[in-house]
């Protein structure tokens, strides 16, 4: 990579590192994994910058790389088996499980409702609520406009509110 490419990649990193990290955090729900995958994303982007065709925004391209890396990581994790020592380290008490369940019951209901949404609406809601991304950032990541992200989130929120009213009746 020549000096100009290094400067370009540094600028790309500065402009996109927060968005890529937030996107990965929405997927992983883990700060350490998100940080590690963010660094790997930019490493892969640096190695493959010549493959970027320019038919989408750089942030979208980077998030595609990040998503591919996350799916690869999930595959690795599924192949790993838990050792007996790890199982015996800490078994939570029944009281802790019960308290956690009661505290998270609304969250569980929310995620149950989200399960029935179409993929794009679900992703917009996850990115907005768990990643705390702006609508402009969500639009960039998904290759859509900020207005599209706002409307999709609003419609999804309306469906959730309607579902919430149904939960309260039961």
Question: Using alpha carbons only, what angle is made at residue 139 by residues 138 and 140, rounded to the nearest 5 degrees?
Answer: 90
φ/ψ of 9, rounded to 5, equals: -65, -35
Nearest to 58 by CA among 24, 19, 27: 19
Nearest to 15 by CA among 70, 66, 61, 58: 58
- Residues 96-130: pLDDT tens digits? 554 454 445 466 677 777 778 888 888 888 888 77
Q: Helix 31-47 vs helix 58-79: angle between axes, to the nearest 10 degrees?
A: 120
CA distance 159 to 170: 17
Q: Answer with the residue of higher pLDDT: 152 or 86.
A: 152
pTM for the predicted model, two decimal places:
0.51
Q: In the predicted model, what is the mean pLDDT of the chain?
A: 76
pLDDT class of 166 with cuts at 50, 70, 90: low
pLDDT class of 54 with cuts at 50, 70, 90: confident
CA distance 104 to 156: 21
pLDDT of residue 137: 86
Q: What is the per-residue DSSP string for 117-136?
A: S-HHHHHHHHHHHTS---HH
């Amino acid at each position: 990579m020549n000096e100009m490419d290094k400067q370009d990649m540094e600028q790309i990193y500065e402009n996109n590192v927060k968005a890529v990290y937030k996107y990965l955090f929405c997927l992983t729900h883990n700060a350490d994994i998100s940080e590690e995958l963010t660094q790997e994303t930019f490493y892969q982007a640096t190695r493959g910058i010549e493959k970027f065709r320019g038919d989408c925004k750089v942030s979208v391209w980077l998030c595609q790389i990040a998503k591919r890396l996350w799916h690869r990581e999930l595959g690795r994790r599924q192949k790993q088996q838990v050792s007996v020592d790890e199982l015996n380290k800490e078994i939570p008490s029944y009281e802790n499980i019960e308290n956690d369940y009661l505290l998270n019951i609304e969250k569980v209901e929310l995620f149950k409702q989200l399960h029935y949404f179409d993929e794009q609406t679900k992703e917009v809601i996850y990115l907005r609520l768990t990643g705390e991304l702006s609508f402009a950032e969500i639009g960039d990541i998904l290759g859509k406009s900020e207005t599209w992200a706002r409307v999709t989130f609003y419609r999804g929120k309306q469906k959730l509110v309607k579902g919430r009213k149904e939960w309260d009746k039961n």
